[in-house]
Amino acid sequence: MDDLVTARLVLHPMTVTEAERVVAGESDSGARWAPGYPTDGEVAAARRYLHTCASTGDPHPFGNYEIRRRKDGVTIGGLGFHGPADTTGSVTIGYGLIPSARGKGYASEALRELLLFARARGATSVKGDADHDNIASQHVMTAAGMRPAGQDERVRYFETAWTDTTAHADPLS
């Protein structure tokens, strides 16, 4: 699978070998990880991806992606799907950045691209959630075009849905 490219980022589809390195916390000689990568969230996402690969096969294109800066190729976080689309075409996403990369619009930029990608691949909706006190993550999802879809005692839920899955359509429409 090819990388997804935005104005400032490269979203690199994670391979099983790369996921195993993230879980082990051991970069190979070609990988360039920013200090603080991988975060605990990235390790958990890599474990989930490896479990999915082992139990049902590689979920790509609905897998995990490393977020790399275009200017230097350094990995600053990750985002991806919690698995393939369900029977209704719905997928769930997650994302995270190292602390030094936060507040620069990278997460919203990456998520907007992932929404376009999901829509172009036939997803009918994308869901995500954030803890009540994680206002930054709530802003990321809103900035990327997702809308609040409810809450419980722990989290606020967000979603974007399409009635058609026209490739490369604007997720904000």
Q: What are the angstrom distances between the C-alpha of 146 and each of 85, 87, 159?
A: 17, 21, 5
CA distance 160 to 143: 12
* pLDDT value of residue 129: 97
Residue among 105, 95, 111, 85 at smallest CA distance from 172? 111
Residue among 103, 167, 91 at smallest CA distance from 136? 103
pTM (predicted TM-score): 0.90
The torsion angles phi and psi of 157, rounded to 5 degrees, stand at -100, 145
Tell me the per-residue pLDDT of 40-98, one tens digit each, with 9 for 90 and over.
Answer: 999 999 999 999 999 999 888 999 999 999 999 999 999 999 988 899 999 999 999 99
Average pLDDT, the chain: 92
